[in-house]
């Protein structure tokens, strides 16, 4: 949505303008001038303030799949997504020789199903160094991909009593200590569950060689491959470990949703400030849409359909309850009004 769209949309209803506390709808040029002077950190702070304000409501409306064995655990999912940019227009976002790009590093809180931390960097920044905080409170469960497979990070998390669930690198050197039993009548996708020790010289140097770890081998039918999940949790069922890693799909769906529905693949401005501002505005929009979807909408619809409905109805001064629950897809037949209904009752007996 462009600034012209916003100006036009707000200007549709004088009542709406008055209820916003404005004397007139904002002009496109006025908003453009304001954006040039406004630092992107304004929107960053607003996002985190809204997150803290609505956290309790969002937690109560949590719709995520609960893993029974750890239903009270606090799960963080860490990942990043890359957005390609034209080097000639976004020369500050250097990536490769002839290509620009940015990364949105994200820590996803599974309890509220929203990003808890976001950091926007040049695309060349490695995932391992994209977030300042990768160690959390005791008993926090951290799920991530093998980009975060790092011996220093493992050692720090073990010390902090965090549980990490990640992919082991294909060239990792380890020794198998013992193999754990698997159920015969279920979980056929789990091929092997074993206790291991990392045995490389680097692992010994970081003090991990004597640390017992768990390696769960899971067959992914959709990709026809086996993935190896490493964790420092030795007691949960192998199914729980596999399901935890599968939760990474939630953050992937989030990245897909904001790219497809909230315009962060094409940017109105080309400066670093403009790009970061637009991304944080999109994050604020995503949070508010989720709040509406979880607390007002009575039926579950695809996020893309829900966003489109809200976008279409924005120029109309309608209640959110009406938009979410009364407006539906499909053709609408008007009610035929009989001539008698048009005559005022006082005239019927005159």
Contact, 283 vs 47, CB < 8 A? yes
**Per-residue model confidence (pLDDT) at position 340:** 63
Q: Are 6 and 31 in contact (CB under 8 A)?
A: yes
Task: Give the range of the structural domain holding residue 33, as residue numbers without chain letter.
Answer: 1-37
Could you tell me the two tokens for 207?
């003090």
Tens of pLDDT along the chain (350 residues)?
677 877 887 888 888 888 888 898 888 888 888 888 899 999 999 999 999 999 999 887 655 567 888 887 899 999 999 999 888 888 888 887 778 899 999 999 999 999 999 999 999 999 999 999 999 999 999 999 999 999 999 999 999 999 999 999 999 999 999 999 998 888 899 999 999 999 999 999 999 999 999 999 999 998 899 999 999 999 999 999 999 999 999 999 999 999 999 988 888 888 899 999 999 999 999 999 999 999 999 887 789 999 999 888 877 878 899 999 988 777 777 777 666 665 665 554 54
Q: What is the CA radius of gyration of the chain?
A: 26
Confidence (pLDDT) at 100: 87
Residues 97 and 206 in one domain: yes
Same-domain status, 95 and 217: yes
Report DSSP letters for 113-169, one per residue.
TEEEEEEEEETTS-GGGS-S----STT-EEEE-GGG--HHHHHHHHHTT-EEEEEPP
CA–CA gap between residue 35 and residue 45 (Å, rounded): 16
Handedness of CA 65, 69, 73, 74 (dihedral sign): negative
10/134 same-domain check: no
CB atoms within 10 A of CB 78: 26
Among the candidates 250, 280, 310, a domain finishes at: 280
pLDDT of residue 317: 79
pTM metric for this prediction: 0.87
**What CATH code is carried by the domain that includes residue 222?**
3.90.350.10
Q: Are residues 102 and 234 located together in one domain of the fold? A: yes
User: Does some domain include residue 140?
Assistant: yes
Q: How many angstroms separate the Cα of 228 from the Cα of each of 174, 210, 242?
A: 13, 20, 10
In a domain, 43, yes or no: no
Q: Are 248 and 77 in contact (CB under 8 A)?
A: yes
Residue 112 lies in a domain: yes
Residue 326 domain-assigned? no
Same domain for 211 and 71, yes or no, is yes
Phi-psi region of 35 (alpha: psi -120 to 50; beta: other; left: phi over 0): alpha
- Amino acid 350: pLDDT: 47
Quote the number of domains for the chain.
2
User: Are residues 84 and 18 located together in one domain of the fold?
Assistant: no
Residues 6 and 104 in one domain: no
Q: Is the dihedral of CA 333, 338, 343, 344 positive or negative?
A: negative
User: Which of 135, 106, 103 shows the shortest CA–CA distance to 118?
Assistant: 106
- Residue 47 is given by DSSP the state H
In eight-state DSSP terms, residue 22 is -
C-alpha span between 102 and 276 (Å, rounded): 10
Same domain membership, residue 95 and residue 16: no
Widest CA span of the chain, in angstroms? Answer: 103
Q: Which residue has the tokens 């609960």?
A: 66
């Amino acid at each position: 949505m462009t600034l012209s769209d916003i100006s036009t949309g707000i200007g549709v209803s004088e009542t709406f303008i008055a209820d916003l506390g404005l004397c007139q709808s904002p002009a496109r040029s006025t908003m453009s001038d304001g954006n040039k002077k406004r630092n992107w950190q304004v929107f960053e702070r607003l996002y985190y303030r809204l997150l803290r304000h609505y956290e309790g409501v969002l937690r109560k409306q949590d719709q995520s799949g609960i893993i029974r064995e750890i239903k009270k655990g606090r799960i963080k999912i860490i990942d990043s997504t890359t957005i390609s940019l034209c080097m000639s227009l976004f020369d500050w976002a250097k990536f490769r020789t002839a290509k620009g790009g940015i990364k949105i590093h994200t820590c996803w809180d599974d309890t509220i199903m929203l990003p808890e931390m976001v950091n926007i960097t040049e695309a060349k920044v490695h995932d391992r160094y994209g977030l300042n905080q990768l160690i959390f409170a005791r008993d926090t469960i951290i799920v991530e991909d093998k980009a975060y497979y790092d011996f220093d990070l493992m050692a720090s998390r073990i010390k902090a009593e965090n549980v990490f669930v990640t992919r082991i690198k294909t060239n990792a050197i380890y020794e198998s200590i013992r193999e754990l039993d698997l159920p015969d009548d279920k979980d056929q996708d789990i091929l092997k569950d074993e206790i291991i020790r990392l045995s490389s010289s680097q692992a010994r140097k970081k003090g991990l060689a004597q640390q017992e770890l768990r390696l769960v081998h899971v067959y992914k039918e959709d990709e026809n491959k086996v993935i190896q999940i490493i964790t420092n949790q030795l007691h949960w069922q192998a199914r729980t470990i596999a399901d935890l890693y599968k939760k990474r799909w939630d953050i992937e769906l989030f990245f897909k949703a904001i790219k497809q529905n909230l315009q962060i693949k094409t940017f109105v401005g080309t400066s670093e400030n403009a790009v970061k501002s637009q991304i944080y505005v999109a994050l604020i929009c995503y949070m508010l849409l989720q709040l509406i979807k979880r607390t007002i909408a009575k039926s579950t619809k695809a996020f893309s359909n829900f966003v489109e409905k809200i976008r279409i109805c924005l120029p109309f001064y309608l209640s959110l309850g009406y938009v979410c629950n009364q407006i539906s897809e499909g053709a609408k037949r008007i009610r035929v009004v009989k001539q008698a209904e048009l005559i005022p009752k006082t005239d019927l007996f005159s």
